[in-house]
Each structure stands twice: as structure tokens, then as C-alpha cells.
Amino acid sequence: MSNKKSIMDYETVALDDGKSALVIIDQTQLPYNTEILELTKQEDIWDAIYLLKVRGAPAIGVAAAIGIYLAAKEIKAETYDEFYQQFSKAKEYLASARPTAVNLFWALDRMDDVVKANKDKSVAEIKELLHKEAVEIKEEDIWVCKQIGEYGLSLVKPGDGLLTHCNAGQLATAKYGTATALMYLGQERGYNFKIFADETRPLLQGARLTAYELHESGLDVTLICDNMSATVMKNGWVNAVFVGCDRVAANGDTANKIGTSVVATVAKRYNVPVYICAPTSTIDLNTKTGADIHIEQRPAEEITEMWYKKRMAPEGVKVFNPAFDVTDNDLIAGIVTEYGIARAPYTESLKEIFAKKEAAKAAKETK
């Protein structure tokens, strides 16, 4: 029996409190090198988020929570006001790393709430509460992903063909993934899914990460170019599309990796349902529609030079490189959350999801 570690044996994102380090897999090095980074400086944590060394909305949220805890741990302050001033500065800095992923702000705001709710406590006590919250955010993410997987399984049957775009797998979360959670749970239960993974240009997260982790885990996965999704759907090989997302607007429009809206449009043509796997932390009811979501623009070199031995575009050519696109809600069959599946009209069903979440929270607090 081989003792070689699989990528699934590593934690995507973790805290080493003894070393005061955020520990991540450098996803820019996959699949060729499994490099574990121990990040102790805020500048390095910011770079890791911006440069996609850690990526995926849930993983970014966990990394942000750990990152701001580590920043707070280093603050030298005697009074609450002095501590909070430095904490806010660190929070603002980390928040600037990725503008589209709502989990980044959600996690930072949640940590901020801990500080503000405990202003009567000592700085040392606040730091310990931040440590506890960061750990809890990670543990919750594992539970959330498994719940999404359970609800996702209710939408498919054994032997189905599934297509996914980008990486919403374990490498994008603390465990299981969002869009891949049902695939892993299905594997445990003998569903024998046939999975198609889009390569996901220009950064190839589908090829480097999704195909890699699914293959390493023994699932039946076939890698395709982004422009092949119509062919496999037309051939009847795909029964459902499952993707993750970085933000869900109140009307059900969703921002996910560039190319998702193309997949959804093609799926509509061939009557293949598209399901968005979205932790409630990615749902932003304060953002009315997808038109209100700020889309991050990435460097031109990702298209013109990355992955090539020689530049593959003429010098000086204009480049448009948005990191995400918005899938209109009428292309979406359902939004799968840890509290159930929302369906159109999303302005109503998403509110119902949050009502279930609040009810579950209240029930937990009364125990």
C-alpha cells in the first residue's frame, strides 16, 4: 500500500496558533507541486488572497478570519479604543484583497462584531474570543458544505452525468467543497457519477484543481475545454450542472467564475438544470441584482502570457479580463444552501432560507 499523501489529505486552510501562522496550500503551484505556506505577515496573507494562492469564497472567508485574528494577536494596546483603531486598520487592509467575494467581508465583519460586542472585556480576552470565532468559522464551513451536499444529492440520481465549472471543491473550502460536496457524498454511497469538469480559462482552475482533486479521490471525471460544454450537453451526457459562486444577489443573480453564464445559457438551450451551490454567507440580500455586483478585473498577462512558453497575443493588444460574470436568475433551476434549496422567485425563497437559518440559530441558543 502506498504511503503517498493525496491532495485530499492536506487541509486547504488552517491556523497554526503556536507559530502565529495561516497555513495554506499554494494553489498556484498545483497540480505539479504541493507547497504548504506558513504565512505570518499580513502582507503575505493579503498577497495569498489576491494572487489566488488561497481561493474559493468559503476558503477566503476562513483565511480572512484567521488572518484578522493573527493581526489582532500582534496588536500592542492597553485600551479598547486603541486596540479597535488598529484592528479596524488591519480589517480594511485585508478587505481590499478581493472585491467580489462576499465571504471575505462576511468573515471580517463577523470578527469585527466579536470585538464590538465585547468592548467591556480586556484586550487579552478579546483576542481569545477572536481565536475562538476564527476556529468556529472554519468548523461551520465543514458542516455547511456537507449540508449542501446532502441537499444536492436530492436533485440527482445514481449514474447521472454532472458538469461543473471552475473549482468549488475541497480546495475552495475547508472540506467537501460546495458544488463537489454531492459528488464526494455520492461516491461514498455508490452513485457512480460521470463528471465533466470545464478547464476554466484563463487561470485553469477546473483543469488544475477540480480535475486534479476529483481524479485524486477516485471519481470518474473527464476534463473538457470551456467551449466543449455545449457538445457534451447536446450529446445527452449531462443531467445537471452544479457550480459554486462568490456572491448571490437578492433577486437570485449569481456571480461566479467567468464562463459560468455561458454554461448556464447553453444548459438552458438543452434543458439541463443549473444549480448554484451557495453557503448563506455568500448570499447578499443588500445587493439587489447582479448589476450591482462589482466585478474584479484581472491582469492582462493572465490571458496573453500565462501558461505559454511564448506570448500568445500581439504586443499592445487590448485585453478584457473580468474574473467573474453574472448568471441571470432565470437561467438557474435552484440555489442550494445549507438550509435548503431556494427556487424562483428568489426574492422570496432566499428570505425564507434566512428565516430557517435564524430559527435554527435561535433553537441552538435555547438548548
pLDDT in tens, 160-170: 999 999 999 99
292 is catalytic: no
pLDDT at 19: 97
What distance lies between CA 63 and its chain's CA centroid? Answer: 11
Q: What is the pLDDT of residue 175?
A: 86
Which positions ≥6 away from 364 have C-beta within 8 Å? none
Percent over 90 (pLDDT), the chain? 89
Provide the pLDDT for residue 4.
63
Residue 288 in grid coordinates: 439587489
Pairing state between β 324-327 and 254-257: antiparallel
The arithmetic mean of pLDDT across residues 181-208, rounded, is 96
Q: What is the pLDDT of residues 298-343, one digit of tens each?
A: 999 999 999 999 999 999 999 999 999 999 999 999 999 999 999 9
pLDDT band for 173, please (50, 70, 90 cuts): very high
- Taking residues 266-284, report their average pLDDT: 96
Residue 364, pLDDT score: 82
Across the beta sheet with 21-25, the strand order is 13-16, 21-25, 36-39
Tens of pLDDT, residues 82-101: 999 999 999 999 999 987 77
Q: pLDDT confidence of 102, banded at 50, 70, 90?
A: confident
- Among residues 258, 162, 166, 171, the alpha carbon closest in space to that of 206 is found at 166
Q: What distances in angstroms separate CA 43 from CA 13, 51, 67, one per listed residue?
A: 17, 12, 10
**End-to-end Cα spacing for the chain:** 46
Question: What confidence category does residue 1 fall into, taking pLDDT thresholds of 50, 70 and 90?
Answer: very low
Adjacency order of strands within the sheet including 247-249: 283-284, 247-249, 254-257, 324-327
Beta-carbon contacts of 9 under 8 Å, excluding residues fewer than 6 positions away, are none
Q: From CA 285, how far away is CA 283, in angstroms rounded? A: 6
Question: Which of 246, 253, 284, 325 is labelled catalytic?
Answer: 246
CA atoms within 13 A on the CB side of 326: 20
Q: Which helix (H) or strand (E) holds 268?
A: helix 260-269
pLDDT at 99: 77
Mean pLDDT on 191-208: 96
Q: Which three cell numbers stand for residue 274?
A: 443549473
pLDDT digits (tens, 9 = 90+) for 238-265: 999 999 999 999 999 999 999 999 999 9
Q: Over the stretch 29-61, which tens digit does the pLDDT of each residue have?
A: 999 899 999 999 999 999 999 999 998 888 999
H/E run at residue 167 = none
Burial class (CB in 10 A: 0-12, 13-18, 19+), 363: exposed
Q: What's the average model confidence in pLDDT over 163-191?
A: 94
What does the longest C-alpha to C-alpha distance in the chain come to? Answer: 67
Summary mean pLDDT of the chain: 95
φ/ψ (deg, to 5) at 260? -65, -40
Q: At residue 5, does pLDDT exceed 90?
A: no
Beta strands in the chain (DSSP E): 13-16, 21-25, 36-39, 161-164, 194-198, 220-224, 240-243, 247-249, 254-257, 274-277, 283-284, 324-327, 334-337, 340-342
pLDDT of residue 296 exceeding 70, the answer is yes
- Spatial distance between the Cα atoms of 326 and 260, rounded to a whole number of angstroms: 8
Residue type, 187: Q
- As given in the structure block, the three cell numbers for residue 207 are 483543469
